Structure 1
Amino acid sequence: MPMIRGHTPGWLSRPSPGFELFSSSENNAPPTNGSRPPAQLPFAPQKNIAYRGTEVFVAVGSKIRWADLAPLKDGAPKQSFGASTDHRSYDSSNGSEDDTSNISGDNYKTLKIQLPGPITQLSMSPQGVYLAVSTSHTVHVLILPELNSLQDQKTLDTVKMRAPQLGHVIHVRENASLASLVWHPLGPSDSALVTVSKDSVVRLWELNGNDKSSFDQPTLAIDLKKLASATTQGNHQFAPSTKLGVFKGFSIDSVEMAVASACFGGKGVAGEYPWASMTLWVAMTCGDIYALCPLLPTKWSPALGQIDLLSTLMETKEVGSADDEMQSGKAADVLKGQQQFMKGIHGAEPAVSVHAGFGPVEIYGRPKHPGSIPKLQGPFQYSDDDDWDGDLTDLYVMDLQTRAHYEEGLQSEDGSDFDEEEQDEDPLSTSLVWVLSSGSQLHLYLSLEGVQAEWLPPSSRENISNHEIPGLALVETIQLSPDQDNAPVVLPTFVPDAFLGHTFFVNHGCGISYVSAKSFVRGLKAELADPEDAGAAFRLNVFLEDTKIHIEHPVPIAPDQRASDSSIGSGCIVLYDDYLGYMLLTTVTGYPTSLTFDSPSWTLDEGESGSLAESYQPQVRASYQQPAEFFQATELQKLTSDNKQGSYRIRGGREEIRLSPATLEVMTEAHRILSSETYRLGIAAADLFRRCKRLQDEFQVQIEHVEDVRERIDSITGEDEDDYGEEEALFGKSKIEKRIQVAYSRQDELHERHKTLREKLAKLGALDMSDKEKAFGKEIRGLEETVLGSGEEEDEAATKCLLQRLQEVKRIAADLVVQAKEVAEGDDVVQMGGAVKVPRNMREERVSLVMDKLERNTAMVDMTAERLESLRLQMS
């Protein structure tokens, strides 16, 4: 995890406007008896914070607050929202305004829209053109103006926004509640929105701010329950029912196919697997996971190089299918459907559209064949041993080619763009599937084969039930909340980090956790890219068993703060700006909490950061936040404001108190209120006292650490010792040099002692020579004198001796030659006479022995002659 540089800054603390931006306007006191009210799971995960650049949108109840964080950080003088002042409102429909106060509009503004209930989700489009706002059953889409328009000084506190409702007769209370809002990554100009309801209905909307009819009906609607049981194509079969208020009855699908969450498998960027951004993953509460590929709007804009990658994949599959004679019928149908799909793309001429803020964009039409509705792939199989703790709550699919946001536009050492380098590599189809359960368990599954485009066959000639069901390999299961029994009932959600690749945060009941799979993905890509097929499965299994996911808990929630369901924020965002920095922003106990990290470009890997943390780990503590009890209004005002309390009339204590049952009832109620409020105030004050006491203790520990460091420095510099008996005292560098000289002299002394001791040990370990060793030595010395001589004056005698030896060797050689001839002639005579018969092999053996001796003697003569010649040259 990036190093934490700071916690909640002052411009987000009380009483700054940044604090009021996130805090609730209603100060609800906790229960007086300290017990938690019965918890109920919400319809869907709460995501009540969204951002666009430095702009933040916060949902509080049924209202949306907007502010630009950059001016808030500047700390310009701002009016306190807690003051009792009148506010003015602005109505963009008629341009009228109520000038009842003098607010400059520099603080947060309230975006006024009509909603039937509290907001559950805020979803910002990729380019910030629209903001989707959903309640439990309805969806509204805000058409956001430019930042300058909202920052205009003439724009007042409350801004009435244009927010048409999505599907006036579709997303209503009479129908199923909403599960997910997902913007299509390939939608041109942020125009494609996908809504998924709890009853497994996927709707694709193509929005146009200038056309109101685009908000009434979706361009594509799919009932997943019907699609799961279908065997052939036929778009009319898969449309959901449009009747309102019709009781549908109970079915197994209503339970097993209740949608929990949905997301796309890619971000629509260059270099990723081309089918990823077209794949919609849908997770059910029971744990089943499905996929729809390809899910495209009628007009879509491909990412850079996406069509080229699709063409390359198709060519590879066509070559493989031509070589594979045992190809199944299903694979042939899939390949045929993909060929028709690519033929429709290549045969169409893209239209170039230019929108403000987008530049020129190529827009393709969705191919008509093989169909607009793909096959529902799944449910994906995984191990039966998976221990699910509760229902599935959220889903997040990660492509292996995902890069960090700060890497975009960077260049390598040779000057080429990273995008170009990654396009040269074949994209991997493997995906990481992350799943969250209501028990705050994080499961990581690996889809090795990935998901590719598939359609239902045009006819029922093939039995669909015989098809192989794709599988997911479980890599790791992580428990994020160790104390789940005391955790508030909050649906865990993913918080994607678009600025660091393969990292994200998890918002759960006991805090916020950081999860990084960078090292895991790096090793996985190396294993999958290895061309060696032998032992690939074994290596992959060993890698999956040994490699662990890096996880940290930067925002823990104390057990005493988990008493209410609002302890952890219902929204969390991760933003990066050159001015604001790299920060995590959320709400805890109803108030803003943030973490400021190091810049993403300077973030170390898990291994490097771990080694660095061992040597240097600064303790960064969050600043003290004043408890809400100090700012809550007393309930005595409500008691005294009532004109009647039973039959007793209260006039603010101005009348004489008379002893009566009514007076006793009032005093009892006042005592109850004061007792509860003073108890909470005492707890808050005691917490401040404990913090001060802990701060004193930590200061004492720091003083002890400083004292220890001072003693170590003194021991190095010599300040802890007396002088060395010299007349003048030594200080600083002189003392260090003196100590080094003493160390060198002591080292030399030890070296001499070691040398002396080694010589003594060598003498003690020596033994006398035996008689045989002495005789052998004497013989060697005599041979040396005979061959080499004993001195320079005996060189002539040595030469004469060598000449005599040479003559003797020549004589012996001549005799041997004569004897050999005689032996050869004798053999011939014996053979002719026939008196004695010698075997042929014996004769050949004897002759070979004689010839070997002759060759050795000849070699000795030649060597002796060369030696004499060299001696003559030396003497001359």
Structure 2
Amino acid sequence: MPKIRSFSAPWLQEPNPGHKLFEQAEETNRLPASIASSRNASQGPNRTIAHRGNEVFVARGREIRWGDLADLKDAWEAQQSRTGSASHLNGDSSDSSFEVYDEETSRLPQGPGYRVIKTPVASEIRQLVISPNKDQLAVLTSHTVHVCMLPDTSHLTSGETAPFKPKFWTVGPTTHVTSKSAVVSALWHPLGVNGSCLVTVTEDAVVREWELSTIDRWSFDTPTLEVDLKKLADGTSLDQDFGASTSTNKAFSPDDFDMKVASACFASRNSNGWAPMTLWVAMAEGDVYALCPLLPRRWSPPPTLIPSLSVSVAQKIETLETDPEATREEKLLAKQQLEWMADLDNQEPKLLDGPYGEVTEVYSRPSRPGSIPRLQGPFELAVAPQDEQDDEVELKDIFVIGAKRNTADLMMGEDFELYADDDDKDSLSVSVICLLSTSGQVKVCLDIDGVEAQWLPPRNASTRAFPDQDVPSLLVFHTFDTLKPAEITPDSWPVFSEDVTTRYAFYVTHAAGITYVSLAPWVSLLESELQSDSEAGADFRFDLMAKGQRAEVDRIYTPQHAQNVLAAATAFKSSDLGHFVLSATHNDPVIMFFDTPESELMSDRQETPVSTEHGETPEPLTVWEPRPLFHPSEVLSRPSTLPPWVDALRTSRKRPLMQQEVRLSVATLEIFTESHRLVSSEVFELNNAVAELFRKCEALTYELKEQITKVYEVNQRIETISGEGESRSTKEQNISEEMLVRNRIDVMKVRQENLARRVDNLRKRLGQVSTRELSDKEKAWAEEVRTLAGSILGDEEEEEDTTSASISTAGKSLKRFEEVQTLRDALFEQAQQLQSTDSVDGTASPMPVMKIPSEIRKQKVAQVMSLLDRETALVEAVKSRLERLSIE
């Protein structure tokens, strides 16, 4: 998991203006924290934070507060710099760029970086869901849905101080009302045209699609598609009516308990196959359903979606045609998918301009076989007995990670490969479904079979019912708990939140804290096993992997007060603010900054080099462990209820008792009893708050001593490394820190040069010692040289297995060499005899002319010349062979 760097953002803490974004609303400011938190927990999920880049939208009560976090941070830094300069000049630390909070009117001040957005809602806002194009914001209460047309950032940062009133539309003014079922989820369809299709799911299992258009008011009043899942679960043919019932009188039905919706979810737009158009619905009782394909009337697919569906449907048709064991239901399903694809292929898409200058292809929803798909489920979960939950535990949220796009099958036979995103490289080829229960238990399930498009059969007696159809199932790959047994509360509503760094990481937010979960440790390993063609020992490998590899689960935040209800964690990642997670209690923000990975830091440094002379200095490394901020209990700042009670008592029927002496009576006893109850409750809360503050202050002293000790140790190490400690011990040496650093750098350079020289010498020695093997040509040449040496010199160690041809050649050459030696010896003997004769006579007479016959002389000379010619020829032959070998 990413390492937490800090738990604080000074520009969002009290008394800075950024803290006003997270303060309580006016209507809940007078309620005790325990009552407000219990009321918020029982009304559904708490997703009150949404963001658009660095802009954040925070719901407080019935209003939305907008703030630009980057502007708030810059304004706070500018204020700090001006405050510091003013304090040095004249001691004035005031800053006129910010307006203070008006205690009399209890209004949020307007200023740079934040504004108030007025809403027409009549009750507390529970969820904020921003559209994919970041231009619309769905605002949900417990029973109503509104859509806010978000203005451009320039309109919110125009400098005006009045509350901003954008255009609001009420979705389903006669459908989503307080007299009907509550709204549990509002989802922007991933395939909607320019992100304008909103899907609402109510608690009574009714799914509605709203294709919103600002120029058509009727699109906000009537849904384009309405499906009652309870009716669809019992449906038998396509021609039935699956719309929601309009009657208010409802009879008892077991489906009201078994199909009570807890949450719903879509996969991402870039998922493979049918995943982007599959709505997953989690029921409170633990059942999971899928609705595929659920499409708006006009939808825009990504470029690779329709080709991938065509390939998968064609492969399925080809497989069923050659499979003799194919059932009637499978053939009917393949036929319906083929009709659906044929209707889609016959369409000519319309081209629309996208939000960023892109061209979007818009298709119409195929009318065949039908617009309402079949309800698949309930899925059977392969849960071990020790993982089964109690009857009182309910599902609260569902999170789906779609399968990666299969570009290999799509580009089969093409000359080029389709570009794959970085997220698809280490992704699974199956969908991952995560289920979250009230107890904080997370079940990670794998959709091994893959959910495909299904429709009910047409009204035909032969194909009306599928009695032998298999029950779909999900493989429970991993189960873990995010809550301790003491932290479990029956009225809590934990929720999932996406991460911005990887698709296989998410956050679980509950009343006891925020937990980070990463599935990356086993995703790549599981994908390699799924793609492996070998089936030998597959069961053993899967079992070993399931028991060995676990998800990375870590609690990153725990609130100080257990009664606080945390907003769903929202992940941010920007170049201005960094990587952090933002949440909020009922009165304070909760923020956690993470360290940026080293690879991203290196890339950022290469793209934007930092100047240390005139620019900002890089942030130093921290040597302490980050800790969550301590917020004193709001009981210390809450006004007492005793003065209002006294004022009310003076205007009540007991007013005469307040103007006379205290007498023993029943009315006096009632007054004292009521006052004692009020005072005792307030004193009890104050005692607890003061005791908590005292314990924190006492612990802070020990933590401060520990930090001072650590800083002192680090300082001593730095002085030892830089040599500053030695210079201080020797007072005669007056050397600056710059000289010490330079001297140490010079020493290190000399040491580096010596090490480089030693490495070069070792490399040379190793090059001399280590000899490589001879090639075939070199071995042949060496053998020829040895044969020639043996033929000339008569090598006695010649091997016995030498061929007869080489032996005969060597014998002839040796015989000729012996004849030359014999002639040389004979000539030396004759010369010695002549010398000895002259020495005996003792006269220095000239050498007598020896009369040698001309025939003998010519014969001897010819014999010597022939021998010389042979030797010359042999030398030339060896020389030419050596030259050829060197050239080759």
Q: Does TM-score exceed 0.5, indicating one fold?
A: yes
2:150 corresponding residue in structure 1: 144
Give the aligned residue type for 2:14.
R
* Residues 285-317 of structure 1, C-alpha deviations (whole Å, 9 max, x = no match): 111111111111110000132112222223332
Q: Pick from 488, 502, 505: which aligns with 1:503?
A: 505
Give the aligned residue type for 1:7.
F
**11-20 vs 683-692, which moves further:** 683-692
Give the aligned residue type for 1:544.
A
**Partners in 2 of 1:523 and 1:335 — Cα distance?**
33
Asked whether the equivalents of residues 509 and 568 of structure 1 are also in contact (C-alpha less than 8 Å), the reply is: yes
Taking structure 1 as reference, are residues 527 and 688 closer, same or farther at Cα in structure 2, changes over 3 Å only?
same
Give the aligned residue type for 1:262.
A
Asked whether the equivalents of residues 352 and 361 of structure 1 are also in contact (C-alpha less than 8 Å), the reply is: yes
Q: Pick from 106, 116, 121: which aligns with 1:109?
A: 116
2:269 corresponding residue in structure 1: 268
2:276 corresponding residue in structure 1: 277
Taking structure 1 as reference, are residues 487 and 169 closer, same or farther at Cα in structure 2, changes over 3 Å only?
closer
- The secondary structure found in structure 1 opposite 2:568 is strand
**TM-superposed deviation, 1:187:** 0.3
2:858 corresponding residue in structure 1: none
- The secondary structure found in structure 1 opposite 2:256 is helix
**TM-superposed deviation, 1:490:** 1.6
Does residue 240 in structure 1 map to residue 247 in structure 2? no
**Partners in 1 of 2:417 and 2:675 — Cα distance?**
72
**Partners in 1 of 2:677 and 2:43 — Cα distance?**
36
Does residue 637 in structure 1 map to residue 643 in structure 2? yes
**Partners in 2 of 1:355 and 1:863 — Cα distance?**
92
Asked whether the equivalents of residues 579 and 593 of structure 2 are also in contact (C-alpha less than 8 Å), the reply is: yes
* Residues 97-128 of structure 1, C-alpha deviations (whole Å, 9 max, x = no match): xxxxx95586430323142x322222211112
Does residue 80 in structure 1 map to residue 100 in structure 2? yes
Q: Pick from 609, 615, 625: which aligns with 2:631?
A: 625
Give the aligned residue type for 2:547.
E
Does residue 532 in structure 1 map to residue 529 in structure 2? no
2:197 corresponding residue in structure 1: 192
**Partners in 2 of 1:546 and 1:293 — Cα distance?**
34
**Partners in 2 of 1:233 and 1:426 — Cα distance?**
40
Asked whether the equivalents of residues 276 and 402 of structure 2 are also in contact (C-alpha less than 8 Å), the reply is: no
2:871 corresponding residue in structure 1: none
**TM-superposed deviation, 1:870:** 8.9
**Partners in 2 of 1:380 and 1:502 — Cα distance?**
22
Taking structure 1 as reference, are residues 375 and 665 closer, same or farther at Cα in structure 2, changes over 3 Å only?
closer
**Partners in 2 of 1:211 and 1:579 — Cα distance?**
39
**Partners in 1 of 2:215 and 2:699 — Cα distance?**
61
- The secondary structure found in structure 2 opposite 1:176 is coil
- How many residues are matched? 709
2:688 corresponding residue in structure 1: 683
Q: Pick from 398, 401, 415: which aligns with 1:398?
A: 401
* Residues 500-538 of structure 1, C-alpha deviations (whole Å, 9 max, x = no match): 321110111210101111232222222222233444444
**Partners in 2 of 1:627 and 1:47 — Cα distance?**
24
- The secondary structure found in structure 2 opposite 1:397 is strand
2:302 corresponding residue in structure 1: 303
Q: 1:105-184 alignment to 2 at 5 Å?
A: 107-115=114-122, 117-154=123-160, 156-157=162-163, 159-184=164-189
**Partners in 1 of 2:474 and 2:440 — Cα distance?**
20
**Partners in 2 of 1:426 and 1:622 — Cα distance?**
34
1:219 corresponding residue in structure 2: 224
**103-112 vs 303-312, which moves further:** 103-112
Asked whether the equivalents of residues 64 and 110 of structure 1 are also in contact (C-alpha less than 8 Å), the reply is: yes
**Partners in 2 of 1:372 and 1:338 — Cα distance?**
13
**TM-superposed deviation, 1:232:** 2.2
Asked whether the equivalents of residues 657 and 668 of structure 2 are also in contact (C-alpha less than 8 Å), the reply is: no
Taking structure 1 as reference, are residues 588 and 427 closer, same or farther at Cα in structure 2, changes over 3 Å only?
closer
Give the aligned residue type for 1:644.
T
Taking structure 1 as reference, are residues 483 and 368 closer, same or farther at Cα in structure 2, changes over 3 Å only?
same
Asked whether the equivalents of residues 115 and 156 of structure 2 are also in contact (C-alpha less than 8 Å), the reply is: no
**Partners in 2 of 1:400 and 1:720 — Cα distance?**
60
**TM-superposed deviation, 1:129:** 2.5
- The secondary structure found in structure 2 opposite 1:330 is helix
Taking structure 1 as reference, are residues 859 and 505 closer, same or farther at Cα in structure 2, changes over 3 Å only?
closer
**TM-superposed deviation, 1:466:** 0.5
Give the aligned residue type for 1:182.
L
**Partners in 2 of 1:87 and 1:27 — Cα distance?**
12
Taking structure 1 as reference, are residues 301 and 144 closer, same or farther at Cα in structure 2, changes over 3 Å only?
same
* Residues 662-700 of structure 1, C-alpha deviations (whole Å, 9 max, x = no match): 778767655654554444344333333333332322333
Taking structure 1 as reference, are residues 36 and 484 closer, same or farther at Cα in structure 2, changes over 3 Å only?
farther
1:608 corresponding residue in structure 2: none
**TM-superposed deviation, 1:540:** 2.9
1:18 corresponding residue in structure 2: 18
Asked whether the equivalents of residues 268 and 277 of structure 1 are also in contact (C-alpha less than 8 Å), the reply is: yes
2:605 corresponding residue in structure 1: none
**Partners in 1 of 2:724 and 2:69 — Cα distance?**
53
**TM-superposed deviation, 1:629:** 2.2
1:330 corresponding residue in structure 2: 329
2:580 corresponding residue in structure 1: 583
- The secondary structure found in structure 2 opposite 1:436 is strand
**Partners in 2 of 1:173 and 1:582 — Cα distance?**
39
**Partners in 2 of 1:601 and 1:578 — Cα distance?**
15
**197-206 vs 669-678, which moves further:** 669-678
- The secondary structure found in structure 1 opposite 2:644 is helix
Taking structure 1 as reference, are residues 507 and 35 closer, same or farther at Cα in structure 2, changes over 3 Å only?
closer
Give the aligned residue type for 1:312.
V
Asked whether the equivalents of residues 657 and 663 of structure 1 are also in contact (C-alpha less than 8 Å), the reply is: no
**TM-superposed deviation, 1:29:** 5.9
Give the aligned residue type for 2:104.
S
Q: 1:657-806 alignment to 2 at 5 Å?
A: 673-705=678-710
- The secondary structure found in structure 2 opposite 1:568 is coil
- The secondary structure found in structure 2 opposite 1:343 is helix
Asked whether the equivalents of residues 423 and 503 of structure 2 are also in contact (C-alpha less than 8 Å), the reply is: no
**Partners in 1 of 2:32 and 2:423 — Cα distance?**
56
Uncovered stretches (5+) of structure 2, i.e. residues with no partner = 77-96, 407-415, 602-620, 727-732, 734-739, 748-793, 822-888
Taking structure 1 as reference, are residues 417 and 129 closer, same or farther at Cα in structure 2, changes over 3 Å only?
farther
**Partners in 1 of 2:302 and 2:200 — Cα distance?**
23
Asked whether the equivalents of residues 131 and 195 of structure 2 are also in contact (C-alpha less than 8 Å), the reply is: yes
- The secondary structure found in structure 2 opposite 1:165 is strand
Uncovered stretches (5+) of structure 1, i.e. residues with no partner = 89-101, 404-415, 605-614, 722-727, 738-798, 803-855
**TM-superposed deviation, 1:150:** 3.0
**Partners in 2 of 1:10 and 1:424 — Cα distance?**
38
TM-score, normalised to structure 2's length?
0.70
**TM-superposed deviation, 1:184:** 0.4
Does residue 571 in structure 1 map to residue 568 in structure 2? yes
TM-score, normalised to structure 1's length?
0.71
Taking structure 1 as reference, are residues 178 and 29 closer, same or farther at Cα in structure 2, changes over 3 Å only?
closer
**712-721 vs 19-28, which moves further:** 712-721
**TM-superposed deviation, 1:430:** 0.9
Give the aligned residue type for 2:509.
N
Asked whether the equivalents of residues 264 and 280 of structure 2 are also in contact (C-alpha less than 8 Å), the reply is: yes
**540-549 vs 438-447, which moves further:** 540-549
**Partners in 1 of 2:117 and 2:803 — Cα distance?**
114
Identity %: 34
**TM-superposed deviation, 1:147:** 2.4
Asked whether the equivalents of residues 259 and 282 of structure 1 are also in contact (C-alpha less than 8 Å), the reply is: yes
Asked whether the equivalents of residues 65 and 108 of structure 1 are also in contact (C-alpha less than 8 Å), the reply is: yes
Q: 1:39-50 alignment to 2 at 5 Å?
A: 42-50=42-50
Taking structure 1 as reference, are residues 321 and 708 closer, same or farther at Cα in structure 2, changes over 3 Å only?
same
1:457 corresponding residue in structure 2: 457
- The secondary structure found in structure 1 opposite 2:72 is helix
Asked whether the equivalents of residues 189 and 199 of structure 2 are also in contact (C-alpha less than 8 Å), the reply is: yes
2:290 corresponding residue in structure 1: 291
